[in-house]
Chain A
Amino acid sequence: MKHHIRFKVNGDQYDLAVDPWRTLNDLLREDLNLTGTKFGCGTGDCGACTVMLDGKTINSCLTLAVEVDRREVTTVEGLAPSGEELHPIQETFIEKGAIQCGFCTPGMEMSGLFLLNGKKTPTESEIRTALSGNLCRCTGYNKIVDAIAETGKKMKK
């Protein structure tokens, strides 16, 4: 039996009927066309599917769509709602060359932003710990760590 769920994604209200076994990741990508959020391992190890649920980062592959009823989801698309101006974290990722293939980027940005929302000037070690649930096979992480530190400084100004 399908479940009726009512929830917000990036500020937009949705009323949907969903099968209970479908994940939030599947719903975002297949039904809402929000393909910025990736599907990687499906087991909560790679972090490519990271979104925020009520302001906290979670793995959308380990979240059922029915669980987000009456809650608020933010995806990478929600960081730049106008579609023209980028969020400071997105700008800085580009500036610092923290993007290569780009597959991990949306998840990295969500995790980076979750850290910065709690603390604008994290140490390098705090940044690396905050990214422990996000894998990148291209950059070697250094540029991502730099970009997050730099974003924090920008956001503090």
Chain B
Amino acid sequence: MSKIQFEYFAPETIEETVALLQAHGEGCHVMAGGTDLLVKIQHRVTHPKVLVGLGKIKELKRISFSLKSGLTIGAMASLADVAAHPKIKKHFPSVAHAAASTANVQVRNKGTVVGNICNASPSADNIPTLLVLGSRVNIAGPDGETRMPLADFFLGPGISALKPGQFVTSLNVPVPETHTGTAYLSLSQRGQLDCSAVGVAAMVVMDKNKCKDARIAVGACAPIPMRTTAAEKMLIGKPLTHKAIEAAAVRASKETKPITDVRASAAYRWKMVAVLTIRALIEAQKNARKQ
């Protein structure tokens, strides 16, 4: 690490941060927890000229919740804080679970949920759940604050929709309707330490035995974490029988575009998307009944 040299700024306000990003342009990186960024620098994948650390902006550490505005997770809220937050555990158990399933204790104490999103890794553990919950990102930039659905945020592996001078200040998760259940399941070679080879999140809204709304998001099986909307449509308005779930899971698998890499083969991923989708939908349905 010591040989790669860069400048560092620790702004105390969002405005100051935007001004720094604008002034330094390309080669200027925002750092939240740094647990991914510093590894990328170490591995010579990223060559920053300037790092802008967000650690001194107090408001970015905040996690807030209200029934009206939903859950807001600041860019500096650590994975450990999100995993342990009583309101998140109660109202968004799968969000807490995904944060708790990321990496190890030390990384969770420093790394952030928003950082995990901004890296835009197709296999990021926190993204599929947040996608099915209809999350939005709040972005600060030269033109002020903007909002964007999380679903529009990913453009490719490691590429987000952020424009020069912009950074994500927080993430907002709307409160789901009653009788909503969610679940996230993932597979990797070394438990939660390793990047996931496949990850599937499901959300269902139940109206008695009928499925009022369904969302499925798959990680690590396309250039971006993706929703499988055709599979979702097969379930909406219908009873969630095992047959219907199986058919939708097969469809979800067909919608993905996995590749073969060090973590798994494309063929394995296709099969596992279907398996995990079945399990996630069953679990989500169970969770919906609890409410």
Per-residue contact bits, chain A 37-67, to B (CB 8 Å; 1 contact, 0 not)? 0000011110100100100111101111011
Interchain CA distance A1-B4 in the complex, whole Å? 14
Interchain CA distance A50-B105 in the complex, whole Å? 10
Per-residue contact bits, chain B 162-189, to A (CB 8 Å; 1 contact, 0 not)? 0000000000000000000000000000
Chain A residues closer than 8 Å to B247, beta-carbon distance: none
Contact present for A47 and B104 (CB under 8 Å): yes
B26 to chain A, nearest CB (A): 19
Given A58-B109, A58-B110 in contact, is the A133-B103 Cβ separation under 8 Å?
A: yes
A104 to chain B, nearest CB (A): 13
Interface stretch among B32-40, B64-72, B120-128, B257-265? B32-40
Interchain CA distance A135-B34 in the complex, whole Å? 21
Is B267 an interface residue when CB atoms closer than 8 A count as contact? no
Contact present for A132 and B193 (CB under 8 Å): yes
Interchain CA distance A99-B47 in the complex, whole Å? 39
Interchain CA distance A43-B104 in the complex, whole Å? 12
Is B141 an interface residue when CB atoms closer than 8 A count as contact? no
Given A47-B106, A56-B80, A132-B192 in contact, is the A62-B8 Cβ separation under 8 Å?
A: no
Interchain CA distance A23-B10 in the complex, whole Å? 16
Contact present for A58 and B2 (CB under 8 Å): no
Interface stretch among A14-22, A72-80, A87-95, A148-156? A14-22
Q: Of A21, A50, A132, which one neighbours B2 at CB under 8 angstroms?
A: A21
Chain B residues closer than 8 Å to A20, beta-carbon distance: 6-8, 51
Scan residues 93-114 of chain B and give those whose CB is less than 8 A from a CB of chain A.
103-107, 109-110
Chain A residues closer than 8 Å to B229, beta-carbon distance: none
Q: Of A44, A67, A111, A114, which one neighbours B53 at CB under 8 angstroms?
A: A67
Question: Interface residue tally of chain B, by bracket?
Answer: 20 to 34
Is B191 an interface residue when CB atoms closer than 8 A count as contact? yes
Is A119 an interface residue when CB atoms closer than 8 A count as contact? no
Chain A residues closer than 8 Å to B192, beta-carbon distance: 132
Scan residues 43-76 of chain B and give those whose CB is less than 8 A from a CB of chain A.
43, 51, 53, 55
A5 to chain B, nearest CB (A): 10
Is A146 an interface residue when CB atoms closer than 8 A count as contact? no
Is A34 an interface residue when CB atoms closer than 8 A count as contact? no
B33 to chain A, nearest CB (A): 8
Per-residue contact bits, chain B 2-38, to A (CB 8 Å; 1 contact, 0 not)? 1011111010000000000000000000000011001
Contact present for A58 and B106 (CB under 8 Å): yes
B87 to chain A, nearest CB (A): 19
Chain A residues closer than 8 Å to B42, beta-carbon distance: 42-43
Interchain CA distance A127-B107 in the complex, whole Å? 17
A31 to chain B, nearest CB (A): 12
B267 to chain A, nearest CB (A): 29
Chain A residues closer than 8 Å to B103, beta-carbon distance: 44, 133
Contact present for B53 and A64 (CB under 8 Å): yes
Chain B residues closer than 8 Å to A66, beta-carbon distance: 8, 10, 53
Contact present for B105 and A132 (CB under 8 Å): yes
A79 to chain B, nearest CB (A): 17
Interchain CA distance A45-B55 in the complex, whole Å? 23
Chain A residues closer than 8 Å to B107, beta-carbon distance: 44, 59, 62, 133
Is A26 an interface residue when CB atoms closer than 8 A count as contact? yes
Chain A residues closer than 8 Å to B191, beta-carbon distance: 132
- The chain B residue sitting closest to A107, CB to CB, is B106
Max chain B C-beta neighbours (<10 A), residue from A21, A50, A132: A21
Chain B residues closer than 8 Å to A130, beta-carbon distance: 105
Chain A residues closer than 8 Å to B5, beta-carbon distance: 19, 21
- The chain B residue sitting closest to A57, CB to CB, is B106
Interchain CA distance A21-B107 in the complex, whole Å? 19
Task: Given contact pairs A64-B38, A133-B193, enumerate 10 new A-B contacts (beta carbons under 8 Å).
Answer: A44-B106, A57-B105, A57-B106, A59-B106, A62-B34, A64-B8, A66-B10, A69-B10, A111-B106, A132-B192
Task: List, sorted by A's number, 10 A–B pairs whose CB atoms are closer than 8 Å.
Answer: A21-B4, A42-B1, A43-B39, A43-B42, A53-B109, A57-B109, A64-B8, A64-B53, A111-B105, A133-B107
